[in-house]
Structure 1
């Protein structure tokens, strides 16, 4: 049932927000607006998070908390994201401003944080505004993605207090075993799944192990750097902010560029996947993205096939978790078939990459 928030009755979204406790907590923090919340709207945000746009008079904030059926460590993830946003303050990485975080689960039943709302769109599918009509705006989207990736790569993670965000030692050499063992683990948990049903995976893993780059760097890796996790302004062709830092860790930042390349589309790609956003004309080529990253970062880009292939290898493994759940009868056929088809496309693309 909705609860009373001041003079306005607001939806609790079946208990995801306790307005009485949240309003009391907000009065103890330096936040936009004053008094109790006056409005709320649930935003789209995937399966793991529940995201709300909260109004306090004329001011607005975004509240992020774990969803009701999210991962077991959802509270830790929320606080980790908040910590990363705090560390990004003052950097050149476009990101939403963090207002406050709460680790007291008694307030709304989970850890949460409040951040500034961002203007623009973060999506796949049909583009909006000038991105839909002006090819120069679409070209700028690729340039902005690369610029943001370089900004993330240049962040001094030690100075930002993020030196314990991951395990950087021997990171490159550990990648193949890390994801191969996860793929095989699906079969242990769900015997109906056969890892050999993912084509070319073992072949790609052998190539990655045999071609580990000598130019190795460690920095912040976003972990899922692609269109749905980046807000593009509708007022100008630029990024308003990078979202969804829950998978961020330490690793070689070139993996973020590899992730972008894996989400891209060009003539000659394997059959079975189209552009992530439409229309696609005007976008930079993969070669243009790579050249721009090298020009902005000063890094030798000769090793980029390794990171491109690794991105495909890793993402295909992650997607196969859904395939395994489908084989176990836990996911609808339409979803399982679609996800497995995309994972298979990724390994087919990686095979193309390592063939050159």
Structure 2
């Protein structure tokens, strides 16, 4: 049975008209896409026009409201850039129309690798599949080269001391829920403390940049349609997004499973680094550091899901819990092993 939608469609329609949204004068028809305690997505249809409305969930706290306002600020800043993203239409920062802040974006005509794996032709055409990885890396490069100050993002993050904060911040985060020993955690942490980049050029970084958080256009050749899920975005070191994009690469070639996708046919790491450099203008000589940090940090993030799965009356999908249970130690082991090849 469809879940009731507690949104005043008439008020929303008037607001959309005031902001020159597609479908002028048409009463919007809403469809719930996702719901929960964080953010809720609705498809908004006005005749043949399709948009997506994003707003905090029913149980969202003040931090989540602040988080959505950050997203609004970011997607406004990306308007007019060459970064693949859902086109920003309008936002109600004050929450005067629907009682909460929200924003509306164009619906993405594309597919996610998380919905059934590689879509045709990438499921069988390995040459075409390789293009998905080049496009993933290119998206990170384009995001990182945006002039964030000119885009109005001063104060959006704290780039000074970014790397100096990483280890202590994430160990403190882990301490709040850690339920088991994680071999490799301390080895990688100490190596990261000793091997922070001496210099880096700040830029916009997604913060969780991987196949799970992008969408591709239908059909070949590969084309990145949009980067999605901006909750962890900040102004920091964009090369960390490249490290995320290369998760699964513990050498020149990716592991066969890539953690959650079949990586058969994907390019060599050196090819992807060269492509990133050509688009971003940033050197990737220190990629070893970023690979260690990306594996280590993702392990800490996913351990929170695993820990939650052990709680009484947990709502974590058992299949997800099982996957996290195995994946987190693998990530930590990989991070520790990479310290031996990433430099002194």
In structure 2, what is the equivalent of residue 241 of structure 1? 226
Deviation at 1:254, TM superposition (A): 0.4
1:48-82 CA distance string (max 9 Å, x none): 32222211012111111123344542222222212
Among candidates 226, 240, 244, match of residue 255 of structure 1? 240
Aligned residues: 337
Kindly indicate which of the two structures has a greater share of residues assigned to helix: 1
1:122 touches 1:230 (CA, 8 Å); kept in 2?
yes
Q: Deviations over 1:182-238 (max 9, x none)?
A: 111225xxxxx34xx222111100000111122322111101111122111114421
**Which residue of 1 is the match for residue 192 of structure 2?**
208
Q: CA RMSD for the aligned pairs?
A: 2.6
Alignment of 1:115-194 (within 5 A): 115-124=105-114, 125-186=116-177, 193-194=179-180
Of the three residues 306, 310, 329, the one matched with 1:327 is: 310
Unaligned runs of 5+ in 1: 2-10, 188-192
Determine if the alignment matches structure 1 residue 111 to structure 2 residue 95: no
Matched, 1:95 2:85: yes
8 Å CA contact 2:5–2:32 kept in 1: the answer is: no
Secondary structure in 1 aligned to 2:32? Answer: strand
Closer, same or farther: CA 338–318 of 1 in aligned 2, 3 Å: same
Distance 2:313 2:60 in 1: 16
**Residue 75 (1) aligns with residue 60 (2):** no
What 5-or-longer segments of structure 2 have no aligned partner?
none
Q: Matched residues in 2 for 1:170 and 1:323: separation?
A: 30
Residue in 2 that maps onto 1:283:
266
Equivalent position of 1:56 in the other structure: 46
* Aligned mates of 1:55, 1:353 — CA distance in 2: 49
Looking at structure 2, the residues matched to 148 and 270 of structure 1 have their Cα atoms a distance apart, in angstroms, of 22
Task: Give the 3-state SS of the residue equivalent to 2:123 in structure 1.
Answer: helix
CA-CA distance at 1:42 after TM superposition? 3.1
Residues 285 and 45 of structure 1, relative CA distance in 2, 3 Å threshold: farther
Moved over 6 A (4+): 265-271
The structural deviation recorded for 1:38 is 4.7
CA contact (8 A) 2:113 2:119 kept: no
TM-score by length of 2: 0.88
Q: How much does 1:31 deviate? A: 0.5
Q: Contact 2:156–2:235 (CA<8 Å) still a contact in 1?
A: yes
Query: Normalization by structure 1: what TM-score?
Result: 0.85
Deviation at 1:264, TM superposition (A): 5.5
Q: Does 1:21 align with 2:11?
A: yes
